[in-house]
Amino acid sequence: MSKSKLIKMMCIGLIGCAVYAEATEGQVQSGKEDVVHEMSTPLAENMMSQSPINIINSIEKENQTSVTFNYKGSLATIENLGHTVQLGVTKGQTITVNDKEFDLLQIHFHHTSEHVIDGKSYPVEAHFVHKAKDGKLAVVGVLYEEGKTNTSFDSLGELPKKKGEKRAFKENINAMDLMPGSKSFYTYSGSLTTPPYTEDVTWVVLKDSPELSKSQIGMVQGAMHKNNRDIQDINGREIIEKD
C-alpha cells in the first residue's frame, strides 16, 4: 500500500471516529441527536440491522415481548435543535421491556415518518428515546396521521421555530399523553436513525396512530427541515407484533 493511500485511510478513520464520538455524546449522554446523514452514511455501509424499516410480515410468538410504561413524571422543556424539536423530561420515567428497565431520556419528532407500515407513510413520527443502566437503548415510535385536532399535542403550545430556542413547560404534561390509548406494538432489533447509526437498539413501534390536525402537522413541518432517514433493508430480521 502506498504512503498516500495509507494516510488517506487514516484520515477517513479519524473523521469517522470524530463523527461517532460527537453523535454518541449528543444522542445518548445528553439525550440530543445530531443529523448529518450525507457525511456519516459510510459508517453504516456494512451494518445489517439498520433502522427505519418498512414493517411487513410481522409474526406473533408464544413467548411474547412485554412492554410496560411507567411515565410518572412530566415534560420539562421544549427546544429547537435545528434538525428537530426535542422535549426534555423529568427524571425517573421508565419503560420495562421484558425484565429490563430503560430510563426515558427525551422525545423528538420526524417528518415525514421514518417507519412505514405495509408501505404506508405518516406525516409525523415521535421517538421516545430510552437508555438502560448497561447503555442499551430502546426507542418507542409513535406514528401520527392527519385527522382531528389533538388536544394533548396542543398542550405543547407553539413549537419553537428558531434553532436554539428553548423554553420550560409551566404546566404538568405527561409524556403518555402524546401516545395512543392502545399500546399494541411491533418490535424488532434495529439502530439509531442518525449518526453513528448504532445497532442493537430495541425498537417498539406502536400500532395505533394518534391524529394531528392539518395545522398541527404544518406546525411540525414549519419548525424543522424534512428529517426522516430512508427505509433500510430488513435483512431477514424478525418483526414481532403484540396486541
Distances in whole angstroms, Cα of residue 112 to Cα of each of 24, 32, 87, 103, 124: 24, 19, 18, 26, 5
Convert 67-121 into a string of H (helix), E (strand) and C (coil).
EEEECCCCEEEEEECCCCEEEEECCCCEEEECCEEEEEEEEEEECCCCCEECCEC
Instruction: List 212's β-bridge partners, or say none.
Output: 146
Catalytic residue chosen out of the listed positions 37, 83, 111, 115: 83
Determine whether 83 is an active site residue: yes
Could you identify the residue written with the cell 434495529? 190
List, by residue number, the catalytic residues. 83
